[in-house]
Chains A and B, each alone.
Chain A
Amino acid sequence: MAVTGVFMSAVADTHAQDHHHGPAKGFSRWLLTTNHKDIGTMYLIFSFAMFLLGGTMAMVIRAELFQPGLQIVQPEFFNQMTTMHGLIMVFGAVMPAFVGLANWMLPLMIGAPDMALPRMNNWSFWLLPCAFLILVSTLFMEGGAPNFGWTFYAPLSTTYGPPSTTFFIFAVHIMGISSIMGAINVIATILNLRAPGMTLMKMPLFVWTWLITAFLLIAVMPVLAGVVTMMLMDINFGTSFFDASGGGDPVLFQHVFWFFGHPEVYIMILPAFGAVSHIIPAFSRKPLFGYASMVYAVGAIALLSFVVWAHHMFTVGIPIVGQLFFMYATMLIAVPTGVKVFNWVATMFRGSLTFEAPMLFAVAFVILFTIGGFSGLMLAIAPADFQYHDTYFVVAHFHYVLVPGAIFGIFASAYFWLPKWTGHMYDETLAKTHFWLSFIGMNLAFFPMHFLGLAGMPRRIPDYALQFADFNMVSSVGAFMFGATQLLFLLIVVKCIKGGKEAPAKPWDGAEGLEWTVPSPAPYHTFATPPEVK
């Protein structure tokens, strides 16, 4: 009866909200909310908390690598740190941050009153803290947390994994369910709730990139669920999917994992592409150079992302025909990615540019993501990959794609839309400080990693030969700087929520889109009657 009572009151709440009452009071507002703005806020707060946690682990890694020799942690714990850092950043920080942005902005951008499936929205959020509670708790279990890298290759993660691996699998399953539900919600919202007149080719690019991202999620999260289930079977139920002595194949794991893993990379970057495609035109005061080609480029990248997975496996000994196919397909991705970069630059060209924090992050995004793209192109050359593979060159590459790509994209979006969320302007001076310290710290941390990798330093090692000492020290200093700077972001956001200059409905003169037609802060309920799009 009690359960029904709670349920009923949730229903009653929804009814009340239909009549434009404010949010409920207290904790139940957050626990039971079906409001896309509340859920978006929770996603963003959760992802920032995970960002700090995963970042703390990165600090442990960089502290140990500050000098050769073992100083701070033992190799067992070091491996747990690299593994948890990767898992938390990918599944806890980047993905939920984009879902948070989607929750807040998609309905505002397409003129919808809320997400299409509000209760599922609530559930898909609340699953996440549960999943991460389980994942993080493995650190305190006997035998420690997962220690086999975020890619959890079998048989290191099956036969040789710690006892906590089963908890890790359970956590991945829960995250997967959460992501799939989130993706279904995004697709249902975009396809059904657009304001009259907003045809597909009139949708804002953030909406487009999220629509494509959501399809990627639905396609690959079940594959991830599949591969961890096969692990679960191998560990607990005596199957041999990944064990050659039982007729299985350890390389099968890698094929299935990377079939998920490569599209996953684009899941983490496409929404940022979308956001940056709003920010650069806004601060250039000039329309995006090629809207249609941007849409097609994102589509092409998404399709290609399904046929390049084995470029992560050039050294496992796949036949040469396979090797060649995956090399060519991977190189092809450079074409649509180039189109996007050229478009952003052409948008800036002969604009009227100003450099507020969102624009700074967006421009840095374009430059540094392109550098990550260049090293990606180098890695695509299969023979050269034999030298780069599993070295710090790869670590440099994917951090250049993910930190200035995904994370700078998220910061750019946060500063761009903070006035809309809070009704206040953030402190521009602090935000610019945040940018410059992040920019310098990030480059100091990750650029030397290119050199380390080329000079021959393998990744995922807790200690290294003496010739790698100098660049590692530089890298650690940069990492500490980048890490500490992120506390400044917390300060800026809290300050902005508490007060600051009042934000007009449209705080950026070049910005376009329906979200700027509602007041700042956006009322609890928006677009109860859909706007007309011409």
Chain B
Amino acid sequence: MRVHAKRAVALAAGLLSPAVVVADWTMNMTPGVTGTSNQIFSLHMTILWICVAIGVVVFGVMFWSIFAHRKSQGAKPANFHENTVVEILWTIIPFAILVAMAIPATATLVEMYDTTESEVDIKITGYQWRWQYEFINEDFGYFSSLSTPRDQIENRQAKGENYLLEVDNPLVIPVGKKVRFLLTANDVIHSWWVPEFGVKKDAIPGFINETWTRVDEPGIYRGQCTELCGKDHGFMPVVVEAVPEEEYNAWVAEKKEAAERERELTQKDWTMAELMERGEKAYQTACAACHQADGSGAPPAFPALKGSKIALEDMAAHIDIVVNGKAGTAMQAFGNQLSEVDLAAVITYERNAWGNNTGEMVTPKEIFDYKNQQ
């Protein structure tokens, strides 16, 4: 299979060399950087060439008829029809080709389904519209959201090289290790795809799917959500950084420490200005997609917060809807998505931004106590 794959790659590279020069005209699937993706690529090229071969024969006969058997060329129609031998042949030959094709496909599939003996386990949760990565054995996790500025999307600024394929916090994995992904979703179905790994799996709310990869080459790999998940489906990229093991270990240690520091922040005494500053940032990543940066929302699905009852009146109700969400609507429960600090900051921000001048603030400690009472 490996040799086959390499040959196919060489063949494809030869055929596609013009496409390589002008990268924008990429025409073929990537062979990728994993064993799985290479096997898939090899299957893809094999079946493609089988189709091309059948096409050449069938269309060849057809074009021959079109050119040689035209009435204007004086062609007289033959009157033959039905020939058992021919009909049996053109049933059996395709069948045999299919069987030949099914064998390597089955082998690859069996391998893709083997998620045992993983060395790193990562839980991936799809949210509208970002990904959460939790390193379940290391006790930390974080969100990964699109980092392309709105100005680029709205054509007010030149688009960057990785337009729509860049995130604030990429997923980091070690090279040369079998990494198992456990996929689920918080709201609707999403699908996590990195073409260069040959990994695509749906993230389904209430269920956990498994898949795996082993990347041997360090690098940054980009993909996207591939299941329609609402308005910003096109704006939730996947970015994975594969790094050497030492680098990975250092990164994990740093992340764990940062998670610890974050927990300590809850105990700190926060001022209004500090909360507002942090709240604005948290609002941009967690809330602005629906409620808009200026709090105007997109009614009726996403109500405005600017001048709204929730943000101006009863504080307890405001905390409740942010922490617990609102059943039957797109409003998610952010209690487990954001830290106490960010929850407090966002709520404070919403109550004091865009002319919502309540002057009220809620501290991380109060949020912590509120969550514990539940």
Q: Which residues of A contact B (CB under 8 A)?
A: 68-71, 74-76, 79, 142-143, 147-149, 153, 155-156, 159-160, 162-163, 243-245, 249-251, 284-293, 315-317, 320, 323-324, 327-328, 331-332, 334-335, 338-339, 341-342, 345-355, 363, 366-367, 370-371, 374, 377-378, 381-384, 386-387, 389-391, 451, 454-456, 458-467, 469-471, 510
CB distance from A301 to the nearest CB of B (A): 13
**B24 at the binding interface (Cβ < 8 Å):** yes
**Are A70 and B65 neighbours in the complex by a CB distance under 8 Å?**
no
Decide if A382 touches B95 in the complex (CB within 8 Å).
Answer: no
> For the complex, what is the distance from the CA of A290 to the CA of B88, rounded to whole Å?
12
- How far apart sit A470 and B256, CA to CA, in the bound complex (Å)? 43
Contact A317 B228 (CB under 8 A): no
Partner pick for A244 among B25, B87, B206, CB 8 A cutoff? B206
Chain B residues within an 8 Å CB radius of A315: 191, 200-202
Binds A, one of B27-35, B306-314, B342-350: B27-35
Cβ contact within 8 Å between A383 and B39: yes
Give A469 to B95 CA distance when docked, in angstroms. 40
Which residues of B sit under 8 angstroms from A284, Cβ to Cβ? Answer: 69, 77
With A69-B154, A456-B30 known to touch, is A331 a contact of B199 (CB < 8 Å)? no
Residues of B within 8 Å of A143, CB to CB, are 300-301
Q: Once the chains bind, are A456 and B71 in contact (CB under 8 Å)?
A: no
Q: How far apart sit A374 and B162, CA to CA, in the bound complex (Å)? A: 33
- Do A245 and B206 have beta carbons less than 8 Å apart? yes
Q: Is the CB of A454 within 8 A of B55?
A: no
Number of A-B contacts (CB under 8 A): 290
CB neighbors of A among B171-217 (8 A): 187-189, 191, 193, 195, 198-202, 204-207, 209-210
B235 interfacial contact with A, CB 8 Å: yes
Q: List 26 A-B contacts (CB under 8 A).
A: A68-B159, A69-B152, A75-B232, A148-B228, A162-B301, A244-B205, A288-B81, A289-B81, A290-B82, A291-B81, A327-B102, A327-B106, A331-B98, A331-B102, A353-B70, A366-B62, A378-B47, A383-B112, A384-B44, A389-B191, A454-B26, A456-B224, A460-B228, A460-B233, A465-B163, A466-B161
Closest to A474 in B: B25
- What is the chain B residue whose CB lies nearest that of A338? B94
Give min CB distance, A102 to chain B, whole Å.
Answer: 26
Are A250 and B205 in touch, CB under 8 angstroms? yes
A19 to chain B: closest CB distance in Å? 43
- Give the complex CA separation of A320 and B58 in angstroms: 34
CA distance A159 to B207 in the complex (A): 17
Interchain CB contact under 8 A, A327 and B109: yes
The verdict on B219 contacting chain A, using a C-beta distance below 8 Å, is no
B51 near A378: Cβ-Cβ < 8 Å: yes
Query: How far in angstroms is the closest Cβ of chain B from A453?
Result: 9
B155 at the interface (CB under 8 A from A): yes
- C-beta contact mask, B60-85 vs A, less than 8 Å → 1, else 0? 01101110011110011111111000
Contact flag A155-B91 (CB < 8 Å), given A250-B205, A345-B58, A390-B227: no
Please tell me if the beta carbons of B206 and A454 are within 8 angstroms of each other in the complex. no
B155 touches A69 (CB 8 A): yes
Q: Is B293 at the interface (CB under 8 A from chain A)? A: no
* B79 CB contact (under 8 Å) in A244, A286, A331, A353: A286
Contacts of B188 in A (CB 8 A): 153, 155-156, 159-160
Q: A69 — which chain B residues lie within 8 A by C-beta?
A: 152-155, 159
In contact, B90 and A153 (Cβ under 8 angstroms): no
- With a cutoff of 8 Å between Cβ atoms, the chain B residues found around residue A338 in the complex are 90-91, 94
Looking at the assembled complex, report how far the CB atom of B68 sits from the nearest CB atom of chain A, in whole angstroms: 9
Determine the distance from Cα of A74 to Cα of B289 in the docked complex, in whole angstroms.
13
Given A68-B163, A327-B105, A345-B58, 17 further pairs, Cβ under 8 A: A79-B228, A159-B328, A315-B201, A327-B106, A331-B98, A338-B94, A349-B61, A349-B65, A381-B101, A382-B109, A386-B199, A390-B191, A390-B226, A460-B234, A463-B153, A465-B165, A470-B24
- Please tell me if the beta carbons of B90 and A342 are within 8 angstroms of each other in the complex: yes
Tell whether B285 is near chain A: CB-to-CB under 8 Å: no
Shortest CB distance A496–B (Å): 24
B58 touches A351 (CB 8 A): no
Q: Which of A70, A378, A460 touches B48 (beta carbons < 8 Å)?
A: A378
Give bound CA distance, A347 to B77, whole Å.
Answer: 10
**Residue contact B298 to A70, C-beta cutoff 8 Å:** no
Contact check, A285 vs B71: say whether CB atoms are below 8 A apart.
yes
- Least Cβ–Cβ distance between A427 and chain B, in angstroms: 20
A160 x B90 contact (CB < 8 A): no
Give B238-270 interface residues, CB cut-off 8 Å to A.
Answer: none
Residue pair A317, B204 in contact (C-beta under 8 Å): yes
